[in-house]
Structure formats: structure tokens, C-alpha cells
Amino acid sequence: MAAHQPNRAYSDTLLHIGGAWCTGGRTRPVVNPATEDIIGSVVLAEERELEDAVRAAQHGFAVWRKTAAFERSKLMRQAAHNVRSRAEAIAVAMTMEQGKPLAEARLETLAAADTIEWFAEEARRTYGRVIPARAGGVTQIVTREPVGIVAAFTPWNFPLNQAVRKVSAALAAGCSIILKGPEETPASCAALVQAFVDAGLPEGVLNLVFGVPADVSSYLIAHPAVAKISFTGSTQVGKLLASMAGQHMKRATMELGGHAPAIVFADADLPRAAKLLAAAKFRNAGQVCISPTRFLVEEKACEAFTQHFVAAARALETGDGLHEGVQMGPLANARRVEAMERLVADALAHGAKLALGGHRPERRGFFFEPTVLTGVPLAARVMNEEPFGPIAPIVSFRTCDEVIAEANRLPVGLAAYAYSGAAGTLAALSRDIESGMISLNHHGLGLPETPFGGVKESGYGSEGGTEAMEAYLVTKFVSQMA
């Protein structure tokens, strides 16, 4: 199999503060998860650089909030163009640092350009309103203003996509932003920032830092100049950051973990459901917050569905994401491989059966086989903790009420999926499942123009659709006597 040849260079990543790329005290290595080779380094910010970033963001906010929405929109569309025209180089760097197949990295990069464009258009639609007054001569106006300086924290699973949603919405609203990118996959974020810099973004509007996550978040969240916190990551860390934001009365958006039920009824097109769900399950080696993770299949169809699903999973080409044809790469880091081993061992100890995979293959890199477990008891950890990896546990159910109860059993509610041929069943599921997003009879979540967010312990706020702008705007009411 041929490796992808052009432009395999991987650059070290610096901090971007006040319009300049700069170094700091320490660096940490960046590892290619497919080879375990060190491919570069990333600079870590200390307090001094973080304070510089806040000052730069203050300067940037003063300029950007006064820049007309029309101009902000134009500049953002140029940034989108820059991302699109550099997509191949960005995708190669993303695959090298994160491990996902090149085809997925290309799609993520092109989707990032779409996201910037969507928010560029939303920038021009931050309307206010006029409220009829009780007294003559009084005008009552509601305006929407940018909330201020944003501190955003984004993870390594979608290095570009997680960052671009926050950056684009904040910039569209007129905010400046300090992005704390993922230390394990820093180059993709740096490429995003460069696209905005080259589009002419004023200094200090978009700053990029890396560091020790807990140190950076405790410094920035507590900083009086920072007005808004946005975090994507685990529920555990989200709760911590949300409580810190609360202590300082900061607005917060929390995009946290889920454990998406994927419900399949016997009247569904089983081969199609199995094929689509397997593609969704093993995308990015399962390291996706909206990945289908609890496969709940009607008892009389369970065996047939499992056969189709196992066949689709077995057919996946796994390997280094730079190799053409590879459909599943390694996990992003060694922690995830260890977590997979623990989850499989625990499920087997609870009486589950291994229908496919279950092991770390004999090769370099953080690989884990596409894994299918059947007959998994609800007490097994994998039915309670988001696996965030290539494990699909399948369990059977008998009635619609029973499966809705199982879907809602956990304290999280981000995404849910269901396949059925009956309109009444689909209506019941869309009404009764406690989840921020539900996709029925296809896989249709995550577009820039559609809401993206969870309920319960999956967090609050939306990162897609018109709702996404809300997080970066505050309301001002002006009442004026002529």
C-alpha cells in the first residue's frame, strides 16, 4: 500500500499572541500515534505568556468590536478560502499528529472552511429589535453586543473542527478569543490561526496558546478581563471548569461527553442500518463525542444485525492514516489503548462475548482492533462510560418502552440514533429520548447550520445553527425619550 508522499513535513508549533508567533519557557514533544515517532514540538505558555495573551485580546477586542459586521464577514470568508486552498497540507499534518485517515482529515478541513463561512454569514444577521413603547416619544431598542474576551478550550479528537466552531462564532459576534488548543495535536489549530492572520485579522483578535491544561484554565477563567468560557471535552473536566466559571460569574458553554444509544428495530432495513452505524462507530477510531456507543437491537433482529455489523467492522482497513485506503487509524494516544483494554476485560468479566477484535495488534503505534461485544450486561463499564474508542457493545431489547428507558438511563444526553420502518416508533423516540440531538434512519448530525449540543451532564449551549451565536452575544436594552 502506498504512503501519501507530497508534503510530509510537520512543523513545530509556537504560541500566537498579539499577531506574532512566539516561543515561551518550555516545549513538549508531539508524537505520531501511528508510529510513536516524535514528529515535532509545541511551546507551552506560562503565566507570563498567558497574561500577554489576555492583554493582546483586550487590545484585539477594542478594535474588533468596532469593526463593521460586514467587514468581519468579508475577512472570515477570506479565511475560509485560505483553509480550503491549504486543505491538503493541513490534512496531512492532522493525520500525522492525530492518526485519523487522510480522507477523514481532508473532510474535517473542508468542513472547517464551511463552518467559517456559515458564521461569516451569521455575523451579518445579529439583529436586534424595537419594542413598542407605552409612552409617546419613547423608543425602546434591543441590541446584541459581543460578550467580550473568550477563553476557549478544545480537545485532540477533532483538532480543527472543535476549535473552528468556537473561533468562528466568537469572531462573527465581534469577540476576541484566546484559544487553548490541544497539546497533542497542535499544528492543525496553528494552521487555522494562520488562515485568519493571512486574511488580515487585526492583532490580538485571535490568540493561540498551549500549556498545562489545568494551569491555563485556572489562570484564564479567573482572569477579570475574560468574559466567556467555552470548553469541549469530558464531563468530568467540564464540571470542574463550569464550577470555576460559576465562581467568577462567567458565562460558559460546555460541550461534554455522551454515550449515544443506537437503537435498531426489527422493521428497519438491517443491512443498511448496520453499514451506516459501523461507519459512524469506527470513524476517527470511535473518538467522537457523538459516536454511536450503546447498540440496542430488537431481540428478534439482534443476531442478523450483529452479523451485518461484524461483517462491516471486519472489512475495515486499519493502519497508518497516511496510507491510501486506510479506513481506521490508531487511537490518538496510549491512554486510549489502555482504556480499551480495561473496558474489554471488564465486559468479558461481566459475561459479555467477543464477536470481533478485542486486542491491541502486534505492531508499533496506538492501535486497537475494531471490537464488537455481544450480550453485554448493563453493569459492565462499557455500558456506563463513554468508550471513546473502537468498541461497539450490542445488547437486545423487547419493547419500545424498555429501549427508551435504557436510552435515558445514563446521566448524559448528547446524541441518539434510531432505525425503524414505523413512523409511530420514530415519533415516540424523537419525543421521549432525552438527548440534544437525534438522527433517525440516517446519520445526519454535526453540520454548521444545525444545532450541536447536549442536555443533562452532556453540557449546555449549542455550537451549531443560529443558536451558536447566542453564546457570544449579550443583550442590551436602550430606552430613549426623543
Helices 423-432 and 400-407, packing angle to 10 deg: 30
Q: Does 40 bind ligand NAD (CB under 6 A)?
A: no
CA distance readout (Å), 147 to 19, 55, 116, 389, 463: 22, 17, 19, 36, 16
**Cell representation of residue 245:** 466559571
Q: Does 214 bind ligand NAD (CB under 6 A)?
A: yes
Q: Does 232 bind ligand NAD (CB under 6 A)?
A: yes
> Is 289 noted as a catalytic residue in this protein?
yes
To the nearest whole angstrom, how small is the minimum distance from the Cβ of residue 183 to ligand NAD? 7
Q: Under rule CB under 6 A, how many of the chain's residues touch ligand NAD? A: 21
Nearest to 150 by CA among 209, 81, 86: 209
The one segment of 119-127, 254-262, 314-322, 370-378 that binds ligand NAD by CB under 6 A: 254-262
Catalytic residue among 117, 184, 255, 369: 255
The one segment of 105-113, 230-238, 305-313, 376-384 that binds ligand NAD by CB under 6 A: 230-238
The C-alpha atoms of residue 31 and residue 48 are separated, in whole angstroms, by 27
Nearer to ligand NAD by Cβ, of 438 and 473: the residue is 438
To the nearest whole angstrom, how small is the minimum distance from the Cβ of residue 344 to ligand NAD? 15
Q: Which residues contact 303 (CB under 8 A, 6 or more apart)?
A: none
Q: Does 217 bind ligand NAD (CB under 6 A)?
A: yes
Nearer to ligand NAD by Cβ, of 32 and 420: the residue is 32
To the nearest whole angstrom, how small is the minimum distance from the Cβ of residue 157 to ligand NAD? 4
Question: Quick one: 445 exposed, middle or buried, by C-beta within 10 A (0-12, 13-18, 19+)?
Answer: buried
Q: Does 109 bind ligand NAD (CB under 6 A)?
A: no
- Do the Cβ atoms of 447 and 107 come closer than 8 Å? no
Q: Does 448 bind ligand NAD (CB under 6 A)?
A: no
Q: Does 213 bind ligand NAD (CB under 6 A)?
A: yes
Catalytic residue among 289, 298, 386, 400: 289
Q: Which amino acid is at 127?
A: Y
Nearer to ligand NAD by Cβ, of 32 and 98: the residue is 98
Contacts to ligand NAD from residues 261-290, by CB under 6 A: 289
Q: Does 153 bind ligand NAD (CB under 6 A)?
A: yes
Q: Does 334 bind ligand NAD (CB under 6 A)?
A: no
Number of residues in the chain: 482
Binder of ligand NAD out of 73, 98, 115, 157 (CB under 6 A) = 157
Q: Does 446 bind ligand NAD (CB under 6 A)?
A: no
> Is 175 noted as a catalytic residue in this protein?
no
Q: Does 386 bind ligand NAD (CB under 6 A)?
A: yes
What number of other Cβ atoms are within 10 A of residue 370's Cβ? 24
The one segment of 69-77, 93-101, 122-130, 227-235 that binds ligand NAD by CB under 6 A: 227-235
Nearer to ligand NAD by Cβ, of 82 and 291: the residue is 291
The one segment of 16-24, 209-217, 361-369, 437-445 that binds ligand NAD by CB under 6 A: 209-217
Binder of ligand NAD out of 58, 143, 234, 441 (CB under 6 A) = 234
Q: Catalytic positions, please?
A: 255, 289
Rule CB under 6 A: which residues touch ligand NAD?
Answer: 153, 155-157, 182, 213-214, 217, 232-234, 237, 240-241, 255-257, 289, 335, 386, 388
